Amino acid sequence: MIEILHFGFVQRALIAGVFVGVLLAVIGVYVVLKKMSFIGDGIAHSAFGGVALGLLIGANTTISAVIFAWVTAMLIGISKKNSRTSEDALIGIFFAFTMALGVIFIGFNKRYNADIFGFLFGDILAVSAADVVTIVCVSALVLFAVWFFYKDLTYFAFDEEGARVSGINTDFIYFLLLTLVSVTIVISIKIVGIILAVAFLIIPVSTALMLTLDFKKLIFVSAVISVISTITGFIFSYAFNLASGATIVVTATALFGGVSLFSYLKKGR
């Protein structure tokens, strides 16, 4: 098994997997605790519109997806602050709209494009050297932002109004968080895919929440669970020639199931 580490694509897959795993887990902690899973889903689907546009006009799909996802996230955020329509409905509207745009763009695309499957479900074995560089750099930036605004983000997630009264700029923190979620989702598309990115934002954190109620430990445990799932999933998908993104998510879900069962049995006793 060890000798596969000599393959360039395996090394790239592992590096990318570890970074994306950590990133998804850390941002996932805030998404889950601030109950933003649905907005995360909306952002992921709007990234699809961006990917489709990138493929159509021959632009870098990561950049077009980030722009699409980020603009959509900002629109959801701004409308939420200034509209009577409920946040859920707004997300549903934007989510459908950008997804529909994506489908139209793909329709315009005369060449049949098999890539789209990779974007939807992820392909860790197809990670290029340039992808690795992007993933590492963006991860470093996002993790730095979380470190720098750790206190503000945490207070915001726990008690938004209390944070605001105490002097924290909660509007800024909200838009920062939306930005970090957008970037994180787009960057992880290569690994787990658009459809599964949100699952991966949520599952490791939900597993970790059963193991610890200490906030700092929660971030650490989520990251560890996430990385374990990514690497285990990668190994399985390589060994048995399975779809990698799906295998990773199935592994993460299996861990979630195992820990659920464990804590249920522990409580039952």
Partner 1 sequence: MSEEIITFKNVSAGYGAGDVVENISFSVEKGDYVGVIGPNGGGKSTVLKMIAGVHKPRLGEVRVMGIDPEKFTQKERSLIGYVRQETFIDTSFPVKVKDVVLMGRYALIGPGRRPSDQDEQMAMDALKRTGMENFSGSHIGALSGGQKQRVFIARGIVNNPELLILDEPTTGVDAKNQHAFYELLLELKRNYHLTIIMATHDVSMVSDQVNKVTCVNHGVHMHGETEEVLKDEKTCEVCGLDTEVIFHGKRKTRVDGGPHND
Least distance to partner 1, CB of residue 81, Å: 12
Six-digit token pair at 35?
């109950």
Angle, helix 8-33 to helix 215-240, in steps of 10 degrees: 140
Q: Where are the beta strands (DSSP E) in the chain?
A: none
CA distances from 220 to 29, 64, 198, 258 (A): 10, 31, 19, 19
Count of residues touching partner 1 (by CB under 8 A):
26
The Cβ of residue 136 has, within 10 Å, a number of other Cβ atoms equal to 16
Six-digit token pair at 258?
């195992």
Q: How far apart are CA 218 and CA 228, in angstroms?
A: 15
Six-digit token pair at 195?
């459809």
Q: Can you tell me which of 85, 166, 260, 263 binds partner 1, judged by CB under 8 A? A: 166
- Is residue 206 within the footprint of partner 1 (CB under 8 A)? no
Contacting partner 1 within 226-255 (CB under 8 A): none
Least distance to partner 1, CB of residue 129, Å: 33
Least distance to partner 1, CB of residue 190, Å: 30
- Give the interface segment with partner 1, choosing from 57-65, 161-169, 227-235, 245-253 (CB under 8 A): 161-169
Residue among 113 and 212 whose Cβ is closer to partner 1: 212
Contacting partner 1 within 38-97 (CB under 8 A): 84
Interface with partner 1 by CB under 8 A: which residues? 33, 84, 147-149, 151-152, 154-155, 157-159, 161-168, 209, 212-215, 218
